Amino acid sequence: MNSEIGINSPIGIFDSGLGGLTVVKAIRERMACEDVIYYGDTAHVPYGSKSKETIVGFTQDAVRFFLDHDVKCIVIACNTATALALPEITAPVPMLGVIEAGARAALAVSKNHKIGVIGTSATIASEAYPNVLRKMNPECAIYAHPCPLFVPLVEEGWLDREATKMVVKEYLTPLKMAGIDTLVLGCTHYPLLANVIGEFLGPDVKLVDSASACAAELESILKERGLLRTEGAGSETFFVTDGAAKFAETGSRFLGRDLQAIKFTPSR
């Protein structure tokens, strides 16, 4: 690691694949002057069905990659990696995940404190969201449900097909019946299903997207440490461990614009 790390160093953003681009989008919207380095572990995606040991190992590799690139902070944009690996890893720069930010945002909007959480099988099995939510507010009732079919549906671009609506109904009926007033979209891919999910749950259920909550938290951490850039155009560089062309094509859907500067980096 370089001792020159400071305000002009880039922010490292990590995801298992391309879903973390929703977090890149939220960070770029808030902090346009920052340089961003993205590492998408497309050779190993999905993490959501893998074991803790495997997810911790892959995340450690990503952290090493960022430290080699002299980042000033690391954002674990992947909910699964945040849930399983973040508590196990340390780094000499600030490191934050999406779960605490998402939980805090959910508690801020919920009125009846019946909160639904959806995510990959690994995220839900880890109980990371309920643990954090209960720590922040022991009174809240949490209804968590894994939604493993959502990731492939989003990656296929099936954002509002009939099949997607049926899967949404199947997964979310128990949460609707429980009377939740807030649903945490606890996976990078789920904000792209916000329309179908919102249609099914109705206007009284607020959808919380961890990506924007995480961007807001990152901004205050950088500001607090005197590391927030307020001048300059900002840049973005994307590294993937496999399939750069596919990443560019599908990634534009997540980012809402074309992706430039995609580089291959071998997985370690």
The catalytic residues are 78, 187
Q: Say whether residue 151 binds ligand DGL (CB under 6 A).
A: yes
Separation of alpha carbons 181 and 244, rounded Å = 39
CB nearer to ligand DGL: give 207 or 227: 207
The residues near 60 (Cβ < 8 Å, ≥ 6 apart) are 85, 89
Q: Say whether residue 189 binds ligand DGL (CB under 6 A).
A: yes
Q: Say whether residue 222 binds ligand DGL (CB under 6 A).
A: no
Q: Say whether residue 79 binds ligand DGL (CB under 6 A).
A: yes
Separation of alpha carbons 86 and 96, rounded Å = 8
Stretch that binds ligand DGL, among 15-23, 225-233, 235-243, 245-253 (CB under 6 A): 15-23
Q: What is the tally of helices (H) and strands (E) in the chain?
A: 11, 10
CB nearer to ligand DGL: give 72 or 189: 189
- Within 10 Å of residue 248's Cβ, how many Cβ atoms? 16
Can you tell me which of 10, 40, 48, 130 binds ligand DGL, judged by CB under 6 A?
A: 48
What are the strands of the beta sheet with 141-146, ordered from one edge?
141-146, 114-119, 182-185, 206-209
37: tokens are 């380095």
Q: Say whether residue 15 binds ligand DGL (CB under 6 A).
A: yes
Q: Say whether residue 188 binds ligand DGL (CB under 6 A).
A: yes
Residues that bind ligand DGL (CB under 6 A): 15-17, 19, 45-48, 78-80, 119-120, 123, 151, 187-189
